[in-house]
Structure 1
């Protein structure tokens, strides 16, 4: 019994190392949902098999070998045929193009505005006005192309004047006014409607995104 457990653990470790080798040298953030499924299922097979005396070593070897072979074939197929790669691995989705939001793609990928703002802040972007193009990668990461005026200063660039910017708050999220945020910043809906009308927006339902900061004012994107 004890020998079987030891053998299963050793075989399981070797199988896990093989799967990781097949998947290639990726960081955790680069793993696609299917890569995670591969390792989770393998871990489940290992966990269920180690302490179950009814599962013989031969059965365990067959399961591990079959699973590793399937992963290998799928990885080869995704490299050889693009349609299969797109189906299983996914492809980058362009959510923002030249500053314009594609709300159909936002909704298709179940991405909420607050989720987006949180992900942007982690990359040092505190306003959507900085973003020219935005891609959602297959692994769930965001890739950002900023407008040139918001890019970091490089050698040879000498700005004439630099000012601090206040953090932004989300006032309208897909046609819905965030009343609690308005209260938080000491404003009301009447103030918001006035500011929107000054920019030519009269129907809140047609606004996909609206943020505000003390230094920059309103930034609005319609559907």
Structure 2
């Protein structure tokens, strides 16, 4: 009887610890997991599961284990918020697997993605032929984002009799206060021009910008830090 009581108490403490862990880390960590977050959750579940059925493990030790593991994940989460390098290290970067209607075989090989898998993922997004795809991006959580060619996507501005060019992907110029120099060159823009655009908006440095991108049709979009 005491053994069952021990399991019950440990489960209650484990549940309480996991509930606090979830509240502290936030909902985003459990929506669509990156590979690192997936491993972190597996380790956490294994930690609690093994501890519950070990008679010599106390409830306090379970809570302590959850606390230490939670602090490690929380610290890494804070680092990834502040540093793009750390974010890339732990979360990876999105990969363009279809660019302008053409498969990027080297990118697919790096991500261990074969054609059958790609076609399956596209079908789940509602696209049944590669001819329909302008861009496809493999996200860090393993999902795929699709920009269809104009004939296969939602009604475009041209369909509505409006001027404009479809099938464009905005180019990120500033991310978390850091200039994306390579992207600036791809957009055929100069840094003095960008600084002047920011100055016109009352922003004196890149650190004052959370996010900025360039679209040839719609121009520069800037989201300052709050």
Bigger radius of gyration: 1
Q: Indicate if the aligned counterparts of 2:122 and 2:128 stay in contact, CA closer than 8 A.
A: yes
Which structure 2 residues correspond to residues 3-152 of structure 1 after superposition, within 5 A?
3-26=5-28, 30-152=32-154
Secondary structure of the 1:31 match is coil
Report the alpha carbon displacement of residue 59 of structure 1 after superposing the two structures with TM: 2.4
Report the alpha carbon displacement of residue 154 of structure 1 after superposing the two structures with TM: 6.9
Whole-angstrom CA distance in 2 between matches of 1:114 and 1:64? 40
Report the alpha carbon displacement of residue 100 of structure 1 after superposing the two structures with TM: 2.1
Secondary structure of the 1:144 match is strand
Structure 1 stretches of 4+ moved >6 Å: none
Secondary structure of the 1:14 match is helix
Report the alpha carbon displacement of residue 27 of structure 1 after superposing the two structures with TM: 8.5
Root mean square deviation of aligned Cα: 2.4
Change (3 A) 1:144 1:27: farther
Q: Indicate if the aligned counterparts of 2:10 and 2:58 stay in contact, CA closer than 8 A.
A: no
Point out which structure has higher relative CO (alpha carbons under 8 A, 6+ apart). Answer: 1
Match of 2:170 in 1: none
Report the alpha carbon displacement of residue 22 of structure 1 after superposing the two structures with TM: 3.8
State which drifts further: 29-38 or 141-150. 29-38
Whole-angstrom CA distance in 2 between matches of 1:119 and 1:23? 29
Report the alpha carbon displacement of residue 111 of structure 1 after superposing the two structures with TM: 0.5
Whole-angstrom CA distance in 2 between matches of 1:37 and 1:135? 23
Whole-angstrom CA distance in 1 between matches of 2:126 and 2:31? 18
Report the alpha carbon displacement of residue 17 of structure 1 after superposing the two structures with TM: 1.9
Report the alpha carbon displacement of residue 4 of structure 1 after superposing the two structures with TM: 3.7
Report the alpha carbon displacement of residue 29 of structure 1 after superposing the two structures with TM: 6.0
Q: How many residues align?
A: 159
Report the alpha carbon displacement of residue 81 of structure 1 after superposing the two structures with TM: 1.0
Q: Please report the TM-score for the alignment, with normalisation by the length of structure 2.
A: 0.63
Gaps of 5+ in 1: 159-223
Q: Please report the TM-score for the alignment, with normalisation by the length of structure 1.
A: 0.64
Gaps of 5+ in 2: 161-226
Report the alpha carbon displacement of residue 142 of structure 1 after superposing the two structures with TM: 0.6
Secondary structure of the 1:111 match is coil
Whole-angstrom CA distance in 2 between matches of 1:58 and 1:124? 50
